[in-house]
């Protein structure tokens, strides 16, 4: 392991420790824990079927950074990154543990949610990828122009609120993400389609907004 890589992992550990469960849940429009400690229960984010089981709850330990989550039905366990992966993809980590690309994607997403810009070029930085793969549609163009550094830094100076900055970063990510999103129910996996159909309020617009 190179020193640089080691620094990256330290960074990630700190990020996981410093980002609250509430920040992540709020980002995905989920109900927030009513307390600061103990356990929070929510629907399993990894398997739709878990909701049908009598044990179908995901336990989120609010004080335990390492063993943060555990599903009593599908037995998926992990930390905040694993939770985020589930919220994002509605699947357990491939092979049971978050690693490789899934890990990096989750870290990048957590950085966004935490409002933490990646300072130096790191393996997580997805900026060059955005520039290469982004083909703006008329709909996405406003987000794209908002992400040009001149515009966003000027806007940040004007308003200078963390929330505003957070929204900008989320918008920037959406500019990249929306291409990969499947919002047409007919293109989804049966499980995902069932999930969406069972939630009539889940419109394509909302799904795009939340990055479902
Ligand atoms: Zn589960």
Is the residue at 210 inside a domain? no
Residue 33 in any domain: the answer is yes
Please identify every residue whose CB atom is under 5 Å from ligand 1, which is an ion. 44, 46-47, 50, 71, 73-74
Q: Ligand 1 centre from 77 Cα, in Å?
A: 9
60 Cα: distance to centroid of ligand 1 (angstroms): 12
The whole-number pLDDT of residue 63 equals 93
111: in domain: yes
Q: Rounded mean pLDDT of the chain?
A: 76
Determine, yes or no, domain membership for 14. yes
Does residue 149 form part of some domain?
Answer: no
Question: For the residues 181-196, what does the mean pLDDT come to?
Answer: 66
Q: How far is the CA of 4 from the centre of ligand 1 (A)?
A: 36
Instruction: Note down the domain range covering 104.
Output: 1-125
**199 domain residue, yes or no:** no
Ligand 1 geometric centre to CA of 90 (Å): 10
Distance 9 CA to ligand 1 centre (A): 27
Per the structure, the count of domains in the chain is 1
Instruction: For 89-123, write each residue's pLDDT tens digit.
Output: 999 999 999 999 999 999 999 999 999 876 554 45
User: Domain for residue 37, yes or no?
Assistant: yes
Average of pLDDT values for 24-46?
94
- Residue 193 in domain: no
73 CA to centre of ligand 1 in angstroms? 5
Instruction: Sort 66 into a burial class: Cβ within 10 Å, 0-12 / 13-18 / 19+.
Output: exposed
ipTM above 0.90, yes or no: yes
Of 47-61, 72-86, 121-135, which gets the smallest average pLDDT?
121-135
């Amino acid at each position: 392991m190179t020193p640089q890589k080691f620094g990256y992992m330290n960074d990630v550990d700190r990020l996981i420790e410093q980002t609250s469960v509430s920040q992540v849940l709020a980002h995905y429009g989920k109900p927030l824990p009513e307390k600061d400690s103990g356990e929070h229960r929510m629907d399993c984010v990894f398997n739709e079927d878990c909701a049908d089981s009598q044990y179908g709850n995901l336990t989120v330990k609010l004080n335990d950074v390492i063993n943060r989550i555990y599903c009593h039905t599908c037995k998926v366990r992990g930390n905040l990154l694993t939770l985020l992966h589930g919220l994002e993809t509605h699947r357990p980590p491939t092979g049971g543990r978050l690693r490789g690309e899934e890990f990096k994607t989750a870290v990048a997403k957590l950085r966004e949610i935490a409002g933490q810009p990646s300072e130096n070029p790191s393996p997580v930085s997805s900026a060059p990828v955005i520039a290469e793969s982004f083909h703006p549609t008329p709909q996405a163009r406003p987000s794209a122009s908002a992400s040009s550094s001149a515009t966003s830094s000027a806007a940040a100076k004007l308003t200078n609120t963390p929330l505003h900055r957070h929204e900008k970063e989320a918008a920037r990510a959406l500019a990249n993400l929306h291409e990969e999103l499947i919002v047409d129910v007919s293109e989804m996996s049966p499980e995902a389609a069932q999930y969406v159909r069972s939630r009539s309020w889940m419109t394509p617009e909302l799904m795009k907004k939340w990055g479902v």
